[in-house]
Amino acid sequence: MKRPSIILASWTFVSLLLLAFSVAAAPGPAGDPRYPRAAVPEEAPPFPAFPDAAALERALHAADSSSARLVAEAFLDERRADGRNLGTVLRSVLPPADFFIALTTDSDSRRELAGMGHGGNAFGSYYAALAARFDRIDADSARWRAFLDVAWLRLPASARSGQDPRAPMVASERSVPSVRSLRYNHQDAIDIFYPVVKRKGAEEIGPTVRSMSYGIVVAAREDWRGGDTQASYVSGGLSPRAGNGVIVYSPDEGRFHSYFHLHDTVVVPGQAVRPGDPLGRGGNTGLNARKVGHGEHLHLEIFDVVRGASLDCYELRALVVARD
């Protein structure tokens, strides 16, 4: 009978193979070059859901206002994981200034501005591009406001509360129009005049303009180049007519505060501000403000997102006077 010996030989062969394999796989003494350790593959880092600003914009565009908050939470969690501060993160993804100009333009003014989009020059090109935003700006506004509302709550409470609202300039450095004179004023804005300005050629330099509220700077430009006609506009600014300026979104108020015609700015998009924080110095940038006799003022607008319209000049005057 040879079968048992065949079985025994087979088991012996298998045992020798297993022993040889275990010896080859076993780690040798540490540091001994004769026994190299098997390389252990490193775990690949997780693929980012938002590799760039375009990815965030696509995700927000696909979301409604409710799910936009979830997109914002996921994006901020991913971006803050690498230690960057919130202002830097926001600055890298916020839409350009003309987006917020479109957002804070009510329906009546949209028709007026769209009519300026012609002429084949830089002025007309700006307003043609602005008009192209109007068709979807209301839906886009809701998504980006949801994003900013989430970002706002990531700031410590001390950065979001504790100080009373302020006027945009101290009383001694401004002249507020009388109630009677407001009938000749813009009905959806107010011009607050500077009693004293410094002059540098055609440029005017006025007093410090300050934030009226807590909020996030969503747009800030100080690169306006132009003159007092449409044809003389070259580039830059919040818009050809607004000139240099700052737009601050106040999540707690649900309002956008726009400060136009500044000489320069001292804040950047994404920056959190408190009431009274300097935004820049008054000036006369922007087409109308650059005209002789039309400068020396801050053009102030406050857009209320619930109303979908700006506060009227009477409400604005009351706010400025009450916040001294």
Q: Is residue 170 part of a domain?
A: yes
Return the ∠ at Cα 28 (arms to 25 and 33), rounded to 5°: 115
Q: Is residue 32 part of a domain?
A: no
| Parent domain of 99 | 58-322
Quote the pLDDT of residue 49. Answer: 83
Q: Is residue 40 part of a domain?
A: no
Quote the pLDDT of residue 6. Answer: 42
Quote the pLDDT of residue 23. Answer: 42
Q: Is residue 94 part of a domain?
A: yes
Strand partners, 192: 298
Query: Roughly what angle, to the nearest 10 degrees, separates helices 107-114 and 122-133?
Result: 140
Backbone phi, then psi, for 195, in 5-degree steps?
-65, -30
Q: Is residue 289 part of a domain?
A: yes
Quote the pLDDT of residue 27. Answer: 52
Q: Is residue 23 part of a domain?
A: no
Q: What is the mean pLDDT of each run of 10 residues along the chain (324 residues)?
A: 44 42 48 52 62 91 91 91 85 96 93 91 96 94 96 94 95 95 90 95 96 98 97 98 98 97 98 98 96 94 95 96 88
Handedness of CA 49, 55, 58, 60 (dihedral sign): positive
| Overall residue count recorded for the chain in this entry | 324
Q: Is residue 13 part of a domain?
A: no
Give, in order, the Cα–Cα distances in Å from 306 to each of 19, 21, 141, 253, 310: 77, 73, 12, 10, 10
Q: Is residue 5 part of a domain?
A: no
Quote the pLDDT of residue 22. Answer: 47
Quote the pLDDT of residue 186. Answer: 85
Give the CATH number, domain containing residue 307. Answer: 2.70.70.10
Count of domains forming the chain: 1
In the three-class reduction of DSSP (H, G, I as helix; E, B as strand; rest coil), residue 132 is classed as helix
Number of CB atoms found within 10 A of residue 55's CB: 14
Quote the pLDDT of residue 41. Answer: 53
CB 255 within 8 A of CB 213: yes
Q: Write the pLDDT tens digit of every residue in 38-68.
A: 555 555 445 578 888 899 999 999 998 789 9
Q: Which residue has tokens 């507020």?
A: 176
Furthest C-alpha separation in the chain: 125
